[in-house]
Amino acid sequence: MALKTYTWISLWFVITVPIIFWDVGYCFMRPRSMEGGDLHWIWRPYALYQKVSGVSQSEAGLMTDKPRLSKNKIDYVYGLPAFESGDGFTNAQSSLNVVETLLNIAYVYLAHVARWPPATVIGFGSALMTLSKTILYWAQEYFCGFCAIGHNNTRDIFILWILPNGLWIIIPTLIVWRLGKDLVDTINFAERQATKASSEKSK
């Protein structure tokens, strides 16, 4: 069967590349990427998730005085609590983000440039990784008693956490379903062809 490509899937993979690498950069460049750090200007919107006050910087731009946390912080995983406690989950999930994004790039190239039929497997695997990791992110929050976001009000949780994170569940789910269906169709087609060839040979 010929390789099938879908504009909306490829657009999602392409558009999310800079977004994910921006997020990865924030995580791995902490504390310099955090509010008060010399590189924070690159990740200024993240201040909403790790808002702090009373921060001073060293000549190198690193935070040297322990900041006084304000109440305006959405996600402790991206804020000071996780960083100061040495929680490895933030960078661990970012490492997987790198793998997923490289697979996304590979899929777009293999599907649209090389026209390699097995590219569907790459896209399916990448979307499944993203979906699984995002579900893990939500599950971790649930099983720890909402330890990283439970301090927020319902409105903030919905607008600033559920909506943006939910996007990484909904769209990858649709991609897994679409590409998974194509893979099943390809396998069934190959099986029918093999059965047909076997029947003709036995005549």
Q: In tens digits, what is the pLDDT along the chain, a chain of 203 residues? A: 678 999 999 999 999 999 999 999 999 999 999 988 999 999 999 888 765 443 433 333 444 444 443 344 788 898 888 888 999 999 999 999 999 999 999 999 999 999 999 999 999 999 999 999 999 999 999 999 999 999 888 998 999 899 999 999 999 999 999 999 999 999 998 888 877 777 777 76
Can you say whether residue 145 is alpha, beta or left, with left for phi > 0 and alpha for psi between -120 and 50 degrees? left
pLDDT at residue 61 in the model = 42
* Confidence (pLDDT) at 69: 39
Q: Which residues pair with 69 in a beta bridge?
A: 52
DSSP assignment string, 63-122: B-SPPEE-S--S-TTTSHHHHHTT--HHHHHHHHHHHHHHHHHHHHHHHHTS--TTHHHH
pTM of the model: 0.85
Give strand pairing partners of 71. Answer: none
Residue 28, CB-side half-sphere exposure with 13 Å CA sphere: 13
Residue 194, exposed/middle/buried by CB under 10 A (0-12, 13-18, 19+)? exposed
- Assign 131 to helix, strand or coil: helix
**Rounded Cα gap, residues 129 and 24, in angstroms:** 16
